[in-house]
Structures are given as C-alpha cells and as structure tokens.
Amino acid sequence: MTAGRLTLLFVLFVLLLLSLGNSLALYVDWLWFGEVGYQPVFTTLLSAQVLVGGAFGAVFFLVFFANVYLAGRHQPTRYWGTVDNLVLLQLAAPLQNRLARTVGGAAALLALVAALGGAGHWEDYLLFRNAMPFGQSDPLFGQDLGFYLFELPFLAYLQDWLLGLLLATAVGTGVLYFLTHGIVLGARTVHIEKAARLHLGLLAAALVGVKAWGYRLDAYELLYSRRGVVFGAVYADVHAALPVLQGLVVLCALTALALLALALRGTWRPALFIGGLTLAVGTAGLSLYPEFVHRFQVVPNESVMERPYIEHNISFTRLAYGLTDIQEEVFPAEQELTAADLVRNDLTIKNVRLWDHRPLLSTYRQLQQIRTYYDFVDVDNDRYVINGEYRQVMLSPRELSYKNLPSRIWINEHFTYTHGYGVAMGPVNRISAEGLPEFFLQDIPPVSTIDLKVTRPEIYYGEIPNDYVFVGTKAEEFDYPSGEKNVPATYRGRGGVTALSFPRKLIFAAYFGSLKILLSNDITPESRILYHRHIRDRVAKIAPYLKLDQDPYLVITKDGRLVWLVDGYTTSDRMPYAQPFGRLGNYIRNSVKAAVDAYDGSIELYVSDPKDPLIQAYQRIFPGVLKPLSQMPDDLKAHMRYPQDLFTIQSHVFATYHMQDPQIFYNKEDLWNIPKKQDKDMEPYYTIMRLPKTGLHKEARKEEFVLLVPFTPAKRDNMAAWLAARSDAPNYGKLIVYLFPKQKLVYGPRQVDARIDQDSAISQQLTLWSQRGSQAIRGSLLAIPIEDALLYVQPLYLSASEGALPELRRVIVAYGNQLRMDTNLEAALEGLFGSGPAPSGKPATTAKTAPATPTPPSLSGTSVPSALARQALEHFNKAQAALRDQDWTRYGEELKKMRAALEELAKK
C-alpha cells in the first residue's frame, strides 16, 4: 500500500471519528432541547447552519471544479519547443488522465473549508433574511439603520467570500493552463493561447467586478471610521475618502470592461493602463489623501469643521445605549434636613444597605453553610413585601459544591449528591447584638420568621453544578442533613431526559466519556439524567444570540418555588456613528428576561423591550420562543431589576455623552467621572428610596426600588450628578439624572472618605481594633438622597485576623460638614439630627428575634413612660456594645444616660 493511500485512510479515519463525535453531540442536544420543550429552536439552528454552509460549499465546489477542470482539459494548438516546456507537458499528462478525481478532491477539500466558514455566519444570514427597520436613517447615505445592523454584515461577508472564491479559482485555473501549455513563459514574452486568455480574462473581469462592489460597501464602512475626533465618518472621510471610493467603483467597472476586451480581442494595453491607475488610486487615494486632508485642512480648524459629525456621534451614541429618554432634574442639595424629614422617609432609612456583598457572603458561609459540601456563591439584592412592609433584602442560595464533597467518588457526584438546598435571606441593615446579620430565612430545612415560605428548596439548577446527575435511580439520593442522619430525596420534577434504555445509556456513556454509565445497574428506564445544569448555559443554548448578564439572581415565588432570573441583551457593533464600549460593540438593549426554575430546569424567555428591532428580528426567526412580558407571572414580574451590567455601561457612556452641545463636547468642558474607590470605579447600588420632590415627582411619590450611581466632575471630587434607574412598575426602565448646582460645593464620595480618614475619633477606633489582632473593614460608601439633601452612609466591619466572620460594629453617617459614628444607623442619625425614625438596625438580643425599637416619643406619640423605658433599654444595649469593644469612656456615658432615663421614669 502506497504512502498516499495510507495518508488518505488516516484522514478518512479522523473524519469518521469527528463525524461520530459531532453526531453524538447533536443527538444529545436533540434530547435536551426536547426535554426543555424547544426542539424547534434546535431544528432552526441546525437547518440554518446546514443550509448556509451547504450553499457556500456547493457554490464553491461547482465554480472551482468547473473552471479548473475546464482548464485541465485544454489541448494546446501549438507547442513552444523549449525543453523545459516539453518536460512540463509530459508531467501534466498523468494529471489529465485522473483530472476529474484530482480536481474534484481539491475542490471538495476547499469547499469543505468554505462550508464550515459559511455555516459560522448562520446568524448573519438569518438576520439578513428577517431584517427589521429602525425607522431612522443615517445622515450620510440616508439608509435605514436596519440596513447596517441586519444586511450589511452578511453582504460584506458575501463579498469577501466571492472575492476569495474567484481568486482561488483564477489561481487554480492559471496553474492548470500553465501545466497544459495554455500559458507559456518565454525568455522575453508570455504566450497565452486564445482559450486560456478568454477564460482567465472573464475570471479577472468578474474578480474586478466583485472588488467594485466591495468598494461600494466600503463606503458604508466609513460610518465606523476611527480617523477623527469622534467615532464615525468625519470631514476627511466624507470629503476625501468617500469621493475616492466612488471613483474606485467607476475605475473598477472600466477595468472590468478592459479585461473583457482583453479576453475577447487580445488588446491588453487598456486593461494594463486602467488597472494600474485603479491600483494607484486605491493605494494612495485611500491612505494618503484623506490623511493629508485631515492633518492640514481639518486639524487647524477642527472644532468648526467636525461640528456636524460630532453632533451625529452624540445623537447616535445616545440612541445606541438607550440614553435618549433620560429625564433631567435639578437636585438642590439643601442643608436643611431635619428629624421630621427622616420620619417621613422612614422606609428609605430602613432600607439603607449596611451589609456589603463580600463581608456578608463570608458571614453567610460561616453561619449558614451548615455542611462543608454546601456553598454560597453570591449575595443578591432584591425587594419583597414582608409582613406588609416594602423591604430590601440580601438573598443567597445554598448550592452544592462538588469540589468539597467528603468523598468525590463517581456515585457520590452523580447519584447521591445531586442538589443544593434552600436559601439564606435577611434585611439589608438589621444586625444582632453580636454585630451579625439577622435572617428572615435560614437553616435546613428552611425556617422563616416572616410571611414568606420556601416550599420547594431543592436547587438542581444553579451557578456551580457539575456536568450531569441521575435522579430516580435505585441508589439513594441525598436531600439534606438532619443531625447525624441524612434525609433521602425522591425527585418529582419534570427536568432531565428520561427513557434511559440501553442504547441511550451507551450514547450518554460515549458523550460524557464514562463507561460507568453503561455498566451501572442503578439506572433504570424510568431514571432521568439532568445535564446542562448551569443556568446561564441553559439560557445560552436556547438563545445563543443573547449576551447574558453576569449576575443571575434567585426569586422566591408566591407559592414558595425558587426561580432564577437572568437578563439577556441584544448587542451589535454595527450602529453607525455610535461610540463603541470595550468588547461589547456599540449597541445594547436589555430585551429579554429569562426565568429558569431551580427544581425542574424549565426555561421561559420574556421580551422586556419589544421596541428593539433586533429582538423583533429574532422573534421572526424563532416564532413562539420569545413570549411577551405580559405573560410573565406577576410574582416574577414584581422582582424584575434594572440590570446592573447594563446600568454600568450606560453610566460610563453617559459620563461623556450627557454633553449634547458639540462645542462643549469637543472641549470636554463638562466631562464627568464615576468616583473611584481604591482605583476602581464605584459600583452602582440598589436601594429603596423616595425620589426627590422635583419636576414630575412632586405628587404621588412613594418608595421604590432604584439603582444609583453618582458622578463627579473630571479631575475633581465634588458631586456633579447622580443617575437613577427605576425598577418598579409602572416606571420600570426609566432613567433620571439629578444635577447638582454648579455654584454649590457638594462633597463627593472621595472627599467624604478623606474626611472620615481625618476624623480623630474614627481613626482612634480603627487603630484600637487593629491593635487587638482584628481587622477593620470599611464597607461601601453609599450616597443616599433624602428629600432635597444627600446623606453618606458607610458601615464598618470587624473581622478577626485569622477568621472570616465579619461583624458590623459601627455605622458612619456624613451630612454636609458633619460626621457621626455610632453602633447603628439610627443612633448615628439621632446624633446628627436629634430624635429620628424608628430604629431598624439596632443591636438585638438574638439574630432570630431582634425586635425593632419603637420611635421616640417626640416623633411617634407613644406614651411617655413606655418611651422612657425603651430609651433606657437602648442605652443599656449601647453600653453592652461599648463593653465588648473595651470602650470605657462610651460605656460610662451610656450608663449615665440609662440611669437618667430610669430616674425620669421613676418620677412618672
């Protein structure tokens, strides 16, 4: 057997293995799509890839094979008698004897590459076929914006592909003509026979014609130029590059005609002259001339000449990032906040987040992990109506951590330990007497102290699952620990692929690379295999066209089920004139809300932005998959959050693009920054608050769940504005920016941080903690708007150097020029403003039963003896906290206050 045949057999064997592997993956995916009820999505995706790839591959094969085969069959009419040419002709004879097989093999290999490349552009093709109008045109060509997002990407790829096809065909054809004596290289001349000249001339004309089409498409690409002061076509592009491109289209057309004349008549001078001119104009005209215009004509008078293009950039950037409808209000930042104002905003005070994600995550792990094989991955902000009151909470699911199993044998990982269990949930600012968080929901099985229950606590689908598990097997499935025993589980959900016959077991064993699946006697035909259990992966398989938010969050429904919500974004990098943002592109919409049931893995996709043309196109491509938001259950709809990822992008863009005057934009006169903390941008944060009483919010104001971020002027630290995104119906998705008066100094986060650092009492306390073998952790500094004023709140945590159980020990409040640090938020507010609202975060006797301290008599109208007794109790608790901190001065002061309250009570 020859070496060539051995190589061919090896290649065929490798292709067979790849084919089997792909077939297995396709069948396993087919079963999974059937499990979740989305097999039409699978067939649409697969058929689109096969159709597009097959079309590109077939066209490439036919064009390449037909032209190269025709060239290979050429018989010379005259032999140019050099020895080299005669030897070459003798070598070509065996090739002509196996011409169809040889050319067909080469064409098939190249067609396969073309097909694979084309299949990768299935999405471009489907969007091209299902293009939707934006209803707005670009200012240069007057094309609807939908042309650039839906049609141009596929047309550009098609043009490049045709250029490559014709170039490969021309090269292959030329080689065959050279071998068959159709082209002969003489000592001083090149001899081309008429048939070869005609054939190659036609190919060259077609090639130049496709290049002319490419120059026409390149004109549209000027809208993504990076040449000037802003992204998009600027003066030099419009007045230099565009005329050159238009001239090149004409020159290419003339060159194609000259090549046709060469092919038909053999007149080569026009083709050579016009072709050379086209090449020169394309080389110098597209690089040197626009750059010359930009440097020597535009730059000296840039602000004036680029003004209309700056306007386009501002307009389309704001459109691309959803910033066109931001409502602007003036925030007066008054210094007249009173205790009465705090009482009116009591719900805002109760929902100030004192627990940061990272310290709270460490504390949850210490207090609620229960067993080493459980873990808390993240803590999420949300809001619930709890016992009739609107409250912001921190919630974290207790997931199963497979890497921490006591014994990582195969049966444990895939049969026994299959799911996490329950959640830990508590208020954002309540603390126990020990400085630890309170819990509304805790323990295993879940224990609730509120009117919210978890009836289905099992978490089979989450953020840290393994590849696959089997349920409903003969092996005992672990549910949760109970003392020294384990409670078994019986899965009753509809998740997973069932009917596990021997052939299916064989397929899954091959797919997952585990022979144990095939040999296991515990798997019955009624068993189920659960795979693709990571929630983001599940959504991504059904909607591969979406970019998914990095922070899925868990919701407890009205009937006690656990459901993940995942935000999905439609994005593009093809919006004309819009400034790109990192690797995202330059267009984004939060168009989809995905809901994934943590128990059975069922997936629902809801359209949250029906006005987005991209999601409208995908609704046409995948009919019935994307449901209207009105079909989302109310108990899920009530927990929709404005996505933090999207808000972060919008706030960074808005820091520059709030400037809409071209001259101010050009000079960067009013550029903003997001305040930094330890060289990192301050993260947006959720809070429940009543929007300030300005503009449209003077009437019917109530507390709502909003996402905030502050801005400071560039290279300065005072406050310039703050941006709010609303999450509650009927105002979901609305953005409001509150502008601070420019004639007034309002401290920014870094300035407040510096004042805290310089405060002697706070510095002394931090130093004292550090000397006692502990670590003081300063939490996030939150800016909380109340009425027309601004409060800053920062929690302080104390953590043992060798431990990981942060305790919330102090709260710092800054207002204007005043600072106050105390054991809880209410005490700090009372120290600044006098008697304040009902404390919601005071030290409690236990984490489970921490009662809220009632409002002082000056604010609530409570009876005087009762109020004095509660004041005495509050001073006693503060004294106990001071005793634990070894703060003897404060300990003595609190005892004196307690005695005074008791003496006053005795008189009553």
pLDDT digits (tens, 9 = 90+) for 154-168: 999 999 999 999 999
Per-residue pLDDT tens for 137-150? Answer: 999 999 999 999 99
Question: Would you say 798 and 777 are in contact if contact means Cβ atoms under 8 Å apart?
Answer: yes
- Percent of the chain as helix, strand, coil, to the nearest 5: 50, 20, 35
pLDDT score recorded for residue 776:
85
Confidence band of 433 (pLDDT split at 50, 70, 90): confident
pLDDT on residue 465:
87
Give 851's pLDDT tier (boundaries 50, 70, 90). Answer: very low
Q: Is pLDDT of 518 > 60? A: yes
Q: Of the candidates 516, 511, 426, 442, which has an alpha carbon nearest to the alpha carbon of residue 840?
A: 426
pLDDT class for 183, splitting at 50, 70, 90? Answer: confident
- Residue 508, pLDDT above cutoff 80: yes
Whether residue 35 is predicted with pLDDT greater than 50 in this model: the reply is: yes
Contact status, residue 33 vs residue 26, Cβ threshold 8 Å: no
Contact 431/844 with Cβ under 8 angstroms?
A: yes
Check residue 302 and give its pLDDT: 94
pLDDT of residue 23: 87
What percentage of the chain reaches a pLDDT higher than 70? 89
Are the CB atoms for 694 and 688 separated by under 8 Å? Answer: no
Model confidence at 351, pLDDT cuts 50, 70, 90, reads very high
SS3 450: coil
Q: pLDDT tens for residues 528-575? A: 999 999 999 999 999 999 999 999 999 999 999 999 999 999 999 999
Range with the poorest average pLDDT among 48-62, 625-639, 766-780: 766-780
**What are the distances in angstroms from CA 406 to CA 403, 413, 522, 875?**
9, 10, 22, 47
pLDDT higher at 33 or 834: 33
Return the number of other C-beta atoms located less than 10 Å from residue 611's C-beta. Answer: 10
Handedness of CA 177, 180, 181, 187 (dihedral sign): positive
Vertex 224, ends 222 and 225: CA angle to 5°? 65
Whether residue 73 is predicted with pLDDT greater than 90 in this model: the reply is no
pLDDT of residue 533: 96
Higher-scoring residue by pLDDT: 900, 139:
139
For the chain, what is the mean pLDDT? 89
Q: What pLDDT, on the 0 to 100 scale, is given for residue 268?
A: 86
Predicted confidence band of residue 764 (pLDDT cuts 50, 70, 90): confident
pLDDT, one tens digit per residue, over 371-400 is 999 999 999 999 999 999 999 999 999 999
**Which of the residue ranges 241-255, 418-432, 829-843 would you say has the lowest mean pLDDT?**
829-843
Alpha helices for 98-192 (secondary structure H): 99-119, 122-129, 145-146, 152-179
Q: How confident is the model at residue 840 (pLDDT cuts 50, 70, 90)?
A: very low
Q: Which segment of 609-613, 691-695, 894-898 scores lowest on mean pLDDT?
A: 691-695
Q: C-alpha angle 379/463/436, rounded to 5°? A: 25
Question: In the beta sheet, which residues pair with residue 497?
Answer: 529
Residue 8 pLDDT: 53
What is the predicted pLDDT for the residue at 98? 82
List pLDDT tens digits, range 274-284: 999 999 999 88
Asked if pLDDT for residue 838 goes beyond 60, the answer is: no
Residue 536 pLDDT: 96
Residue 847 has pLDDT above 80, yes or no: no
- Token readout for 457 is 């606590």
Longest Cα separation, the chain: 132
At 689 the pLDDT is 93
Under 8 Å between Cβ of 791 and 752: no
- The angle that helices 152-179 and 194-221 make with each other, rounded to 10 degrees, is 160
Does the pLDDT at position 843 exceed 80? no
Q: What's the rounded mean pLDDT across residues 790-806? A: 85
Lowest mean pLDDT among 198-212, 820-834, 842-856: 842-856
Predicted confidence (pLDDT) at residue 88 exceeds the cutoff of 80: no
pLDDT of residue 181: 78
The string of pLDDT tens digits covering residues 282-291 is 988 998 999 9
What pLDDT sits at residue 842?
42
Residue 853: pLDDT band by 50, 70, 90 thresholds? Answer: very low
Over 90: is that where the pLDDT of 666 sits? yes
Least confident window among 232-236, 544-548, 688-692, 705-709? 688-692
Closest of 413, 397, 859 to residue 597, by C-alpha: 397
